Structure 1
Amino acid sequence: MSTAPAAGSTLITVAPTGAESAKADVPALPTTPEELVETAVACERAGAAMIHLHVRDERHEPTLDPGLLREAVVGVREATDLIVQLSTGGSVTDPLEQRLTVLDADPDSCSLTCGTTNFGDAVFLNPWGFMVQLYRQAQERQVVPEFELFELGHVHALRRLLDECGLPYGGKVHADLVLGVPGSMPGTPQTLLAAVAMLPPEVTSWSATGIGRTHLPIAATALAAGGHLRVGMEDNLVYAKGQPVTHNRELVARAAQLATLLQRPPLSCAGARELLAVKDRRAR
């Protein structure tokens, strides 16, 4: 049986936790190692093929603790076939030097944000030198980056990164367009399509993330335009008006249903690994 990605299929990534929401405010947020593994298993069954992880400490606070990062990677990898992607953004307050240690946890993939951006009342710092250092580290360690683009200027920065550093490990270039963050690209179909039109020709696949109430319009536009989807409680805590999300699988299942209705059903984990040219780190 071929494991090649089916034509017209949709990669669904789940981002279950993030670094912004507090557990006290959102009790359903998965923050413990056990909750992350349970979430990963449920979301794989619902149609996800990749998981974007932030981890929390025993107080449910965001952390880049190497041991906790490694525990999360190993736990999800042992329980599922999901591609395990670690955030290298952490929290907006994390120092750049610490963010460069994330790949020590040996993920399959990592996020790589292509520039500094306003992030609500804060600033998400990603200077050029840091981006290059992280990219070269990912190449050396055979980790596939997902280039996160919050601004149209970040699309230009991706072009510059590819010119200076070459292609990622595996030769595929996957970007995630993040829209609707206060202070960054607005979450409108018009903005998404403008960003997609600017993507370098080396980009082999792209996904889109709509924050908050922009979640569904961006998902629908991405599917119609041939893109993939990222969903999850990191990005959206409300399923419908007056109805909070109670589990990440709800958002994954809806994305899978929407993709299937548009005749672009969810991509399997095996197909996603081929789509992104991910190195297989699973135990044989």
Structure 2
Amino acid sequence: MEPILKACLNGDRSRADHPAVPVTPEELAIAAYDAAAAGAVAVHFHPRGPDGRESLAWSDVEPAVAAVRERCPDLALGVATRQEIVPDLSERLSLLAEWQAGPDFASLNWHEEGAERVADLLVERGIGVEAGLFTPAAARKFLTWRGPVVRVLVEALPGISPGADGVAAAQATLAELPDDFELVVHGENEWAWPVLEWARTNGYGLRAGLEDMLAGPHGEPVAGNAELVDYMRGRR
């Protein structure tokens, strides 16, 4: 199987200082189209409400998903469910229970409280689970769950994932996993490009976009997600 190339289009509000970060459904659709044209076969994004904040309300998620789907009908698309969007687990589950068929998958950080319950609910709603593992402990916790996953994200985040650098952090988490998952290995911020280059060399699926990095591998300014996909593919 060819390693997947995935674009992460926006992320949380900490990325708002880059002018190309897409927020509205229309902006997400354009960014997804451009990323796909550059070679991404899947996208991940964080839908927003009218106030610009990340949202799990179906009334906010559905327009974003529909806009991207209309513009990019053949593109696999996924959305975020991270705990910080709705910290209360009961409220988060209640909102997710209202989701209809729409996203192909949703990313779920496995270190979060109630991750297994969120995963079970997503499966019930017909939405694929993309398991996000920040740490070896999260990987061990994930392996106790028996449900299906679309893929596993091994995520190296400075200040969160244990390790002297991003590659060491990714390797520590990978060491806990068997070989039978589709894997994407990525980092964020200063770890993003070193981890991406290591993952590419080792044949893992790749992820790039304005959620993970705001510049090229040597600090080059970028106009948007499509340029980062070009860098991910080694075309620049």
Query: TM range, normalised to the smaller chain?
Result: 0.7 to 0.9
Secondary structure of the 1:244 match is: coil
Q: Return the match for 2:214 from 215, 237, 254.
A: 237
- Between the two proteins, what is the percent identity of the paired residues? 27
Alignment match, 1:14:
7
| Residue-by-residue CA offset, 1:241-279 (whole Å, 9 max, x unaligned) | 553332011111111226xx9xxxxxxxxxxxxxxxxxx
Cα RMSD of the aligned pairs, angstroms, is 2.2
Question: For residue 196 of structure 1, what is the aligned residue in structure 2?
Answer: 174
User: Unaligned stretches of 5+ in structure 1?
Assistant: 1-6, 116-125, 262-284
The corresponding residue for 1:176 is 153
Q: Does 1:110 align with 2:90?
A: no
Q: Which of 14-23 and 27-36 deviates more?
A: 14-23
For residue 74 of structure 1, the aligned residue among 57, 63, 66 is 66
The alignment of Structure 1 onto Structure 2 pairs a total of residues equal to 231
Partner in structure 1 of residue 38 of structure 2? 46
Q: 1:100-144: per-residue Cα shift (whole Å, max 9, x none)?
A: 3246043210112111xxxxxxxxxx12xx212112112222321
Distance across 1 between alignment mates of 2:141 and 2:23: 33
Cα distance change on mapping 1:224 and 1:36 into 2, 3 Å: same
- Structure number with greater CO (CA < 8 Å, separation at least 6) is 1
Q: Flag as ranges the 4+ runs of structure 1 deviating above 4 A.
A: none
Conserved 8 A contact 2:54-2:85: no
CA-to-aligned-CA distance 1:17-55 (integer Å, 9 cap, x gap): 1113253x2222111111100001000111111111201
| CA distance in structure 2 between the aligned counterparts of 1:243 and 1:212, rounded to whole angstroms | 14
Task: Give, in whole Å, the separation in 2 of the partners of 1:73 and 1:62.
Answer: 14
Distance in 1 (CA, whole Å) between partners of 2:172 and 2:89 is: 30
Query: Alpha-carbon deviation of 1:92?
Result: 5.1
Of 142, 156, 162, which aligns to 1:158? Answer: 142
CA contact (8 A) 2:105 2:150 kept: no
Instruction: Name the aligned partner's letter for residue 117 of structure 2.
Output: Q
> Taking structure 1 as reference, are residues 62 and 239 closer, same or farther at Cα in structure 2, changes over 3 Å only?
same
Please give the TM-score of this superposition, normalised by the length of structure 2: 0.88
- Cα pair 1:178 1:185 within 8 Å, conserved: no
In 1, Cα distance between equivalents of 2:42 and 2:48: 19
Distance 1:90 1:160, change over 3 A: closer
2:147 to 156, 164, 167: 167
Q: Which amino acid aligns with 2:55?
A: T
Query: 1:84 pairs with 61, 77, 84, which one?
Result: 77
* Unaligned segments of structure 2, at least 5 residues: none
- 8 Å CA contact 1:19–1:91 kept in 2: the answer is no
